[in-house]
Amino acid sequence: MNYQTFQPHPDLSALVKFYWSLKVPFDPNNQKQKIIPDGCIEMTFNLKDKIKRYISEDDFLIHPNAMIMGQRTKSYFIEPLGNVDSFAICFYPYGFSNFVSTPMENLIDIETPIQCLFGETPAKKLEQKIFQATSTQKRIEIIEIFLLDRLNQNTTIENLVKITVDTLLETNGNSSINKILKDDLSKRRQLERNFRKQIGISPKQLGKVLRLQTALKMIINDKENLTNIAYESEYFDQAHFIKDFKEFIGTTPKEFLGNENMALSTLFYK
């Protein structure tokens, strides 16, 4: 597997977290891979063979060649049908809603073809340019021109949503929403409504995902034992840590380690 990340242009750095490319040659012995929620929305282009996403043990959907992967509330399995060559844009939690008018809650747990969000003609032109580009750097130049052109100065993230996301990112998901709101519960309903529209999931769900990410990075990099990781990630106790882990990943932390189905997710988190 060849996975690389690239930084965005400064004019987009507040909205785009990074770009990434992934190349994996086909191997008939490859296992299906589990993808873990990360709190971000991604625009992904599959430049080679198709990839399928399992919706049950045996049933699956085929990924569109150019798609938006909305916020995820649970893990899922994918399996390539041949060679993998992908290019993607990873947006910060409030990043993607600056480029479209569609509520982010409509994109949860699904892959949406880009023409459904950008229009048939602009999406087709973008897809064609990305697929014809001869390098990742060329693709980055193409997508940045597209995004800067799409950036609507009238589309602004509601300030309370931005403050909440920034605080959760800075604290790895460990700030309580009441503390962020300074115990002004009258703002809670407004925040929940705008959060789902502009981020896709609730503040509590995003906080859980970010905190789990911190723990995952520690596990993958063999930093400490699981008990210490639970407390360093500010879980109340190890039982709470295991509960959240199973909710989002479907396994216990011990089962995660060395699991062939987690090879791709492990690569993303290193």
Predicted pLDDT at 226: 80
- 182, with CB counted inside 10 A (0-12, 13-18, 19+), is exposed
pLDDT (average), residues 162-186: 85
Predicted pLDDT at 121: 96
| pTM > 0.85: yes or no | yes
Instruction: Report yes or no: 185 and 191 within 8 Å, Cβ to Cβ.
Output: no
- Asked if the model's pLDDT at residue 262 lies above 80, the reply is no
Mean pLDDT of the chain: 88
Checking 173-182 for CB contacts under 8 A at 24+ apart, the result is: 173/206, 173/207, 173/208, 173/209, 173/210, 173/211, 173/212, 173/213, 173/214, 174/207, 174/211, 174/233, 174/234, 175/207, 177/203, 177/204, 177/207
Predicted pLDDT at 41: 96
Q: How far is CA 199 from CA 75, 87, 135, 195, 209, in A?
A: 18, 22, 31, 5, 13
Integer Cα distance of 7 and 48 in angstroms:
23
Q: With cut-offs at 50, 70 and 90, classify the pLDDT of residue 156.
A: low
- Asked if the model's pLDDT at residue 31 lies above 90, the reply is no
Sorted by where each begins, the domain ranges of the chain are 2-150, 159-269
Q: Does CATH place domain 159-269 in 3.30.420.40?
A: no
Angle in degrees, 0-180, between the axes of helices 203-220 and 188-198, rounded to the nearest 10: 60
Instruction: Report yes or no: 130 and 165 within 8 Å, Cβ to Cβ.
Output: no
What type of residue is 158?
A: E
pLDDT (average), residues 157-174: 88
- 75, with CB counted inside 10 A (0-12, 13-18, 19+), is middle
pLDDT tens readout for residues 18-28: 999 999 999 88
Predicted pLDDT at 71: 95
Predicted pLDDT at 223: 59
Predicted pLDDT at 269: 67
Which secondary structure element, helix H or strand E, spans residue 45, and what is its range?
strand 41-46
Predicted pLDDT at 263: 75
Instruction: Report yes or no: 131 and 87 within 8 Å, Cβ to Cβ.
Output: no
Predicted pLDDT at 228: 84
Say whether 159-269 and 2-150 share the same fold. Answer: no
What's the CATH fold of domain 2-150? Answer: Jelly Rolls (2.60.120)
Predicted pLDDT at 224: 63
Question: How many CB atoms are closer than 10 A to CB 245?
Answer: 23
Predicted pLDDT at 155: 59
Which secondary structure element, helix H or strand E, spans residue 267, and what is its range?
helix 263-269
pLDDT tens readout for residues 89-99: 999 999 999 99
- Asked if the model's pLDDT at residue 109 lies above 80, the reply is yes
- Asked if the model's pLDDT at residue 153 lies above 90, the reply is no
Percent of the chain residues topping a pLDDT of 90: 55
| DSSP 3-state percent helix, strand, coil across the chain (nearest 5) | 45, 20, 35
pLDDT tens readout for residues 216-252: 888 887 756 788 888 888 887 888 888 888 888 888 8
Predicted pLDDT at 240: 86
